[in-house]
Amino acid sequence: MGLHAFFVFDAFTEFFSALTALFVAYYSLKAYKILDDSRMISLNLGFSVLGVGMLIHGAVKVRIALAVLSGVAVPPARRLPLVRLGYTIAFATELAAYALIFLSTMRRPPSTEAALVPPLVTPLIEYDFRSEGLLAALALLIAIKAGISYAQGDSRLAGLVSLGFALLAAAHLLLVFGGPLKLVAADVTRLLGFACLLWMVIRVSRVRA
């Protein structure tokens, strides 16, 4: 299948990552009920939005991947209109989620305007270096802020938040440089980032319940 094999792997990994993000949102809400920490609500809202966006993008790609596996000839997927639309939705929701979560780390009520999805006139090319670079920068800012909180003893679990978002930033950076092998590495790195965040909110929910 050549390059199509990488697309199939990417499609199913993104779909699974989207489900993991929604689990992060669910356990963040449980953690909020225990900690009464507004940052958990921001994590819940952010990952709910992010998870839905990724789920749409992933579902579109899984549908195409199934066609590839059944032997249907498919043109380069990243430029297909449906894939571009799905990626645009995923990018917009990730951008809104990261902005919301970053603002919550500033210990200020998140601005309504900052949480809005930015207007996008035309669908983006999937994994465009400009959009992925912007997401990498935001994820890295969150990782740095959480890392500072961890170093200052604000919370032992802040270290997991910092690690999770550092992995997400690395995943976006890998997509900036492009290439099939970097795509696979980005998928795995993103999933590990979500796993760190999921582990954090599950620990909060169980240990302090």
pLDDT of 102-145, one tens digit each?
Answer: 988 776 544 444 444 445 556 888 999 999 999 999 999 999 99
Q: What is the pLDDT of residue 131?
A: 94
Q: What is the pLDDT of residue 204?
A: 84
Q: What is the pLDDT of residue 93?
A: 95
Q: Which two tokens stand for residue 159?
A: 């270290």
Q: What is the pLDDT of residue 186?
A: 96
Q: What is the pLDDT of residue 142?
A: 94
DSSP 40-94: HHHHHHHHHHHHHHHHHHHHHHHHHHHHHHTT-----GGGSHHHHHHHHHHHHHH
- 51 in Cβ contact with 18 (< 8 Å): yes
Q: What is the pLDDT of residue 16?
A: 95
Give residues with Cβ within 8 angstroms of 129, minimum separation 6: 175, 176, 177, 178
Q: Which residues of the chain have pLDDT under 50?
A: 1, 109-118
Whether the pTM exceeds 0.95: the reply is no
Q: What is the pLDDT of residue 208?
A: 55
